[in-house]
Amino acid sequence: MVNKKGKWLSSKEALKHLKITDCELMHRRERGELKFEKRGRAYFYYFEIKDE
């Protein structure tokens, strides 16, 4: 059974997690490839963590 849990990461944390540049992060956000929300002036990205 696979349990899915999610975690919201800040932009800095998302950059480290994905190992990409801030410019690439913006492009992926604009293309709709990442689930995100804007809180004030900051973006937070949602990542699913799969446990097997």
Instruction: Show Cβ contacts of residue 8 under 8 Å, excluding neighbours closer than 6 positions.
Output: 37, 44, 45, 46
Residues 17-26: tens digit of each pLDDT: 999 999 999 9
The pLDDT value given to residue 3: 59
* Confidence at residue 49, expressed as pLDDT on a 0 to 100 scale: 77
Reading phi first (left if > 0) and then psi (alpha if -120 to 50, else beta), residue 13 is in alpha
What confidence tens digit (pLDDT) does each residue in 9-43 have? 999 999 999 999 999 999 999 999 999 999 999 99
